Chain A
Amino acid sequence: MDTTPILNVKNLKKHFSVKGQTVKAVDGISLHIMPGETLSLVGESGCGKSTAGRAILRLIDLTEGEVELNGQRIDQMSARQLRPLRRHIQPVFQDPYSSLNPRMRLRDILAEPIRNFGLSPNAADIESRIRQLLEMVRLPADAAGRLPHEFSGGQRQRISIARALAAEPSLIVCDEAVSALDVSVKAQIVNLLQDLQKELGLALLFISHDLAIVEHMTHRVAVMYLGRIVEIASRERIFGSPQHPYTLALLSSVPVPEPGRTIDRIVLKGDVPSPMNPPKGCHFHTRCPFALDRCKTDEPKLRSVAPGQHVACHLHDLPPSENPIAQRTAVSEVSS
């Protein structure tokens, strides 16, 4: 197995300045993605997951940190140096309506990356590649001559995926790519993404707030809260044995479509604090049902608690008998 990650992010920070105050949208996250692997970035709105995605795509400049694409540092590159490398990492955005230039025909939308990256030698070749791409995302071949507004939301998302594939990337960043879609269409796009991943060996950075979809799609999960990763682990560990109280609360909050089932739910008090003025110590201590005194002052570091599972929480310094997290069973096993 290939051991160089496609993407390796170290201590990524993105700070914005809003009216003289600093918003630490992303405050030092590290992650990596192996070829063909799906890593999901989950969290609630404002946690910085989309900003992280945009910084990794270099659509915005980062404040600090390193981004390695196929072993090559891209965080400091100039726009000109970066342009040919962009081929390897392509985005798919949330809103199917604003993701496509309303005045360009599908053919031109798909031809743009092919031409820019010089992936096809001549016009006939481009045309056949476009036909192939449309087939891959299961759109009819005659779609090439049409404008985006002639398509439904789900179809447009297919077009966005086709545009990403046109660059022949090794990694696709899906920023809430299926969130705006209805259930029945969402299933179509999720299946499409999974099929393409298998077929092409794509790696995915899957940014989403929809935990059920994430569980269905992913290999590993990173949970973000207020700009930091609080837990990162394999799918089995996150959904089977979450070790951060926030992960636990998040999972238990999802309403389950099984009437009559009662959930041992942790309802968090209050709201997510403002990222302009995050709490000291552990960002989560204001809402954490198990917070200790030291959580208010000491910032917990990510550390390994099980093979492939890293958690930033002081509770794991306690002996297992006193650790309330270890006492809890996984959410999915609780049913009446």
Chain B
Amino acid sequence: MPLLSVENLRTHFRTADGILRAVDGVSFTVNAGETVAIVGESGCGKSVTANSILRLIPESIGKIAGRIVFEGRDLLGLPIKQMRQIRGNEISMIFQEPMTSLNPVLTIGYQLSETLRLHQGLTAAQALARSVEMLTLVGIPEPAKRVRQYPHQLSGGMRQRVMIALALACSPKLLIADEPTTALDVTIQAQILELMHELKSSAGAAILIITHDLGVVAEIADRVIVMYAGRKVEEAPVEKLFRTPQHPYTQGLLDAAPKLGASLKNSEGRLSEIPGMVPSPKETIVGCSFAARCARVSQRCREVVPSLEPKSADHFVACHHAI
């Protein structure tokens, strides 16, 4: 039984000029202790998927349908009170922008202890002491001083460490990391990735990481889900996905990014392009959403949505003409 099972997730938004189908029929699972990555370009629905799991979609403009089963409970059917007991406690989240995801007018210590007091019933003093421990764990120097400081007194990398401490404070079973290193400089990204590696082995939480960076995926994920235009197009263990991608989009994505060191191996040349651009999520797409950009396209692709088929026990592809 997987820890998290997302079934047929659809998240749509109402906009002034039509319905935006950000996520349109996505299913996947996350097992305990496993690291799963969702990759895709902007607008593919990967972040909305992550936010849908914790029901962080504003109800006034967005609707979520499908089933999100976490340890046997369907989160979408849960009363909001019980949902809040899960948020930050059993499932927690890290966001992309460390500069804006901490509250600028509250101290680091307050923001950390708030979670601990809420979910673990600690007193203010206990929570503060635990906060200092958490900051030490994520490698923040002088934690006792830092708890009294405000976010603007910390650098971006430090803030992302605080976010990680915040997410891990209640020892969650699932950690959702939405582009955790995208906003960081490459040397700071290396630090955060190193930290996540350490925590992955020590904390034992399952991680669902959302990213557009294939390098990050290769480094941290066990299993990868590729999304395109609101749909899942491929899923495979990380090595299989990189060695033998089966969806033309995955293949295109892997080839489009230049690799560091390529010039030395004389393996460089023109970058392979994926022609055209991502379709607007406001369009109604009949058939495969990648059809308009795909070199292997056939008439069938334009008419029938390809279903996700197992190509082997752990490799799934949604393509009529898989590679």
Contact = CB atoms under 8 A, between A and B. Distances in A.
Given A184-B253, A187-B273, A257-B259, A332 B264 contact: yes
A184 B41 contact: yes
B258 to A, nearest CB: 4
A268 B271 contact: no
Given A216-B271, A265-B190, A272-B185, A256 B158 contact: no
B264 A330 contact: yes
A333 B272 CA distance: 24
A257 B257 contact: yes
Interface string B182-193: 000111111101
Nearest to B211: A255
Contact of A258 (B221, B242, B253): B242
A99 to B, nearest CB: 18
Contacts of B185: 44-45, 209, 272
Contacts of A141: none
Interface string B154-167: 01111000000000
A187 B277 CA distance: 12
Nearest to B238: A259
A332 B266 CA distance: 12
A268 B258 CA distance: 24
Interface residues of B, number: 49
Contacts of A182: 41-42, 212, 278
Interface residues of A, number: 47
A276 interface: no
B277 A154 contact: yes
B190 A257 contact: no
Given A184-B41, A187-B272, A250-B186, A259 B258 contact: no
Contacts of A331: 260-261
A211 B258 CA distance: 9
A116 to B, nearest CB: 31
A44 B186 contact: yes
Nearest to A218: B263
A209 B155 CA distance: 19
A257 B274 contact: no
Contacts of A213: 258
A319 interface: no
B210 interface: no
Given A154-B277, A257-B214, A332-B260, A183 B268 contact: no
A260 interface: yes
A191 interface: yes
A216 B258 contact: yes
Interface centre among A212, A253, A255 (most CB of B within 10 A): A255
Interface stretch (A28-36, A50-58, A82-90, A235-243): A235-243
A291 to B, nearest CB: 16
B319 to A, nearest CB: 17
Contacts of B239: 259-260
Interface in B169-194: 185-191, 193-194
Contact of A254 (B42, B186, B242, B253): B186
A271 B155 contact: yes
Contacts of A261: 218
A306 to B, nearest CB: 15
Contacts of B42: 182
Interface string B244-288: 000000001110111111111100101111110110000000000
B74 interface: no
Nearest to B154: A271
B190 A268 contact: yes
Contacts of A253: 186-187, 189-190
B303 interface: no
B75 interface: no
A143 interface: no
B18 interface: no
A128 interface: no
A184 B273 contact: yes
A187 B263 contact: no
B271 A239 contact: no
A260 to B, nearest CB: 6
A268 B257 contact: no
Contact of B260 (A44, A209, A236, A256): A256
B261 A183 contact: no
A251 B275 CA distance: 30
Interface string A180-192: 0011111110110
Interface string A310-331: 0000000000000000000011
A147 interface: no
B71 interface: no
B215 interface: yes
A69 B21 CA distance: 51
Given A186-B256, A215-B261, A271-B157, A259 B242 contact: yes
B259 A267 contact: no
Contacts of A212: 257-260, 262
A187 B261 CA distance: 17
A314 to B, nearest CB: 21
A249 interface: yes
Closest 5 CB pairs between A and B?
A332-B261, A255-B215, A253-B190, A184-B274, A44-B185
